[in-house]
Amino acid sequence: MDEETWQEALSGIFKGEVRFMELMKNHTSLRIGGPADVFAIPQDLNSLRNILIAFKEGETPFSPIGGGTNMLVRDGGIEGVVISFRAFRKVETLREDDEYVYLFAEAGASLQRLVHFSREHGYSGIEGLAGIPGTVGGAICGNAGAYGYEMKDVIISVSIMEAEGRIRTVNRDALAFGYRRSSITSDELLLDAEIKLKKDRKEEVAAKVENFVKKKWGSQPLSEPSAGCVFKNPPQLSAGKLIDEAGCKGMRIGDVEVSSIHANFFINRGEATASDFIRLMQEVACRVKQISGVVLEPEIRIIGRDEG
């Protein structure tokens, strides 16, 4: 569909912003990525549903995006519609008992806002997620985690909008959470979640959060553009250590460099491209395989089309 047809299809049924040929490098923490055909920021559930239905009729693919902090978008950009959740940011208390508090968080809320909220109130359960960028939606879809804490441990249920616009509630046990994964597929939209945290002393929660933030800043290149860990840790092993032992720290292709602070982080040194990033991933994985025999698997999500 061209721009004019889109405008017509959405007129009167969509509240929010729609941009055409929007560069994804402006929406990813890596600062890499070609243009999305359409980049939509719906303001409410009806607009979200209507845009899904409009796409479906036009058989246009859609891709949800949170903070873009765990993805590599190819240089040719993304076909179809990228859906941003930035207008869905509510975090509020649903109910509480003597021991626990139950929170409602929308997919587009920043994960750090949730950590901050919990810390302010003395709610325990997500202290180890302090410092992880991105949204609550992204953290649930990829079961984000660190220091023994994982998003899955605090989820009660989530609401999901299916491609047809129908909303269903899914309990935690049906989400098949695993190491940096869940069963939520790319044609489902996670709208919000119910989260259960344990009441604790504020000072105790704050001290844990501060400790984890300090650890993170001491071991990861947090001020450089990256997408976090590039590869998953193989069972009982550290991907960063394997990459370091294979002599890859500081390796560079184009403007993509293996961080010398944490070898599992690849940094954009300026004008990095996705194709250089993927070549560096292949080269690093190949060297690790040669030295240790271990096959590394990507943790980051690689999406989009190659440059034509």
Q: Which residue has the tokens 């940011």?
A: 89
Choose the binding region for ligand FAD from 16-24, 37-45, 143-151, 252-260 (rule: CB under 6 A): 143-151
* Angle 273-277-279 from CA coordinates, rounded to 5°: 115
284 binds ligand FAD (CB under 6 A): no
Residue with smaller CB distance to ligand FAD, 254 or 298: 298
Phi-psi region of 59 (alpha: psi -120 to 50; beta: other; left: phi over 0): left
Q: Mutual orientation of helices 45-57 and 3-10 as an angle, nearest 10°?
A: 130
Query: Residue 7 or residue 46: which is nearer to ligand FAD going by CB?
Result: 46
At its nearest, how many Å lie between ligand FAD and the CB of residue 136? Answer: 8
Any contact of residue 33 with ligand FAD (CB under 6 A)?
A: no
Q: In angstroms, give the least distance from the CB of 66 to ligand FAD.
A: 2
Dihedral of alpha carbons 221, 226, 229, 230, sign: negative
- Total residues at the site for ligand FAD (CB under 6 A)? 34
| Exposure of 260 in the CB half-sphere (CA atoms within 13 A) | 4
| Dist. CA 74–CA 221, nearest whole Å | 23
Residue of 33, 145, 240, 304 that binds ligand FAD (CB under 6 A): 145
Q: How far is the CB of 3 from ligand FAD (least distance, A)?
A: 24
* Interstrand relation of 71-73 and 78-84 (parallel, antiparallel or unpaired): unpaired
Choosing from 135, 182, 264, 273, the residue that interacts with ligand FAD (CB under 6 A) is 135
Dihedral of the CA atoms 111, 114, 119, 124 (nearest 10)?
-90
Q: Binding of ligand FAD at residue 228 (CB under 6 A)? A: yes
Under the binding rule (CB under 6 A), the answer on residue 139 touching ligand FAD is: yes
Q: Is 133 in the site for ligand FAD (CB under 6 A)?
A: yes
Could you give the CA distance from residue 197 to residue 297 in angstroms, rounded to a whole number? 32
Query: Pick from 78, 130, 158, 189: which binds ligand FAD (CB under 6 A)?
Result: 189
Residues within window 68-127 making contact with ligand FAD, judged by CB under 6 A: 68-71, 85, 107
Please write down the long-range contacts of 86-89, taking CB distance under 8 Å and 24 or more positions apart.
86/41, 87/16, 87/41, 87/42, 87/43, 87/44, 88/191, 88/192, 89/113
Q: Which part of the chain contacts ligand FAD (CB under 6 A), choosing from 10-18, 60-68, 197-205, 230-238?
A: 60-68
Where does this chain bind ligand FAD (CB under 6 A)?
Answer: 29, 63-71, 85, 107, 132-135, 137-139, 141-142, 144-146, 184, 186, 189-190, 220, 222, 226-228, 301
